[in-house]
Amino acid sequence: MTDSEPTAATVRIKKYANRRLYNTASSSYVTLEHLCQMVKDGTEFVVQDAKSGDDITRSVLTQIIVEEEAKGPNLLPIGFLRQLIGFYGDSLQAVVPRYLEHSMKSFARNQVQMRKYLEGAFGGLFPFGRFEEMGKQNIAILESAMKMFAPFVKDEDIAQAGIPEPGTDSISELKSKLEAIQKQFDHLSQKRPD
C-alpha cells in the first residue's frame, strides 16, 4: 500500500474512539485480522479516524505487523528492526521508505518465481541453482540501489573502513543451509525405490 491518494475502488475503514473498525463498503465492523486478510487479498483500503477524518492507515498497518510478529513465527529479524529504528532522525530517513518499497516490490516479483520453482520441486530435484540466481539478482539490485544513495563512496573506501558488506554473513549462512538441504534431497533420492 503506498501513500497515494485513495481511488474510488479503495475501501474506507473508519476507526472509532472505542477502537472499533467499521468497513463502510460492507457496512460491518471488522477486526485487525480482517484488515490483514484484505492486505493479503490485495484489497486497497484507507483507515480514517472517525472523529477527525485523519488518515491513520500507517499506524493501523503497523499495529497489524506488531500483532502478527507477536503470534510468531517472526518475519522481521531483530537486526533489521534495530537498523530501521536507527534511521529515524537520520539524514537518510527520507530515502529509506522508497528504498524499502522498491526492495519489497522486487522481492514480490521474484516471489512468484520462487513459488513456481517450489511447486515444480515436488516433481524433480529441488531447484537450488534457480534460487541462487534469484538471490544474486536481488543482491545486485540492492547494491545498485545503495550506490545511488552514496554515489561518492568507492568500494575501496568501504573496505578500508572495515565496514562489512551488507548481508554477507546471512547469504553464506543461507548458502550453507541450502547445501545441507540439497545433500538431504540427494540422500533421499538415492534411497527411493525405482
> Could you please report the per-residue DSSP string of 50-90?
TTT--B-HHHHHHHHHHHHHHHSS-SS-HHHHHHHHHTTTS
C-alpha to C-alpha distance for 79 and 94, rounded to whole angstroms: 20
C-alpha to C-alpha distance for 160 and 17, rounded to whole angstroms: 55
Which 8-state DSSP code applies to residue 6?
Answer: P
- What pLDDT band is residue 67 in, cutting at 50, 70 and 90? very high
- What pLDDT band is residue 116 in, cutting at 50, 70 and 90? confident
Lookup: cell for 164:
562489512
Instruction: Look at strands 28-30 and 45-49 and give their pairing.
Output: unpaired
pTM score, two decimals?
0.56
Task: Determine which helix (DSSP H) or strand (DSSP E) holds 49, and give its type and residue range.
Answer: strand 45-49
Lookup: cell for 187:
540422500
Lookup: cell for 121:
520441486
CB 47 within 8 A of CB 21: yes
pLDDT of residue 163: 46
pLDDT of residue 191: 55
Nearest to 11 by CA among 31, 28, 25, 22: 25
Report the pLDDT averaged over residues 145-172.
Answer: 54
- Cell 562489512 belongs to residue: 164
Residue 48 forms beta bridges with which residues? Answer: 14, 55
C-alpha to C-alpha distance for 4 and 10, rounded to whole angstroms: 11
pLDDT of residue 122: 58
Better-scored residue on pLDDT, 2 or 15: 15
pLDDT value at 166 more than 60: no
pLDDT of residue 30: 96
Better-scored residue on pLDDT, 147 or 88: 88
Instruction: Look at strands 11-15 and 45-49 and give their pairing.
Output: parallel
Which 8-state DSSP code applies to residue 14?
Answer: E
Task: Determine which helix (DSSP H) or strand (DSSP E) holds 23, and give its type and residue range.
Answer: strand 21-23
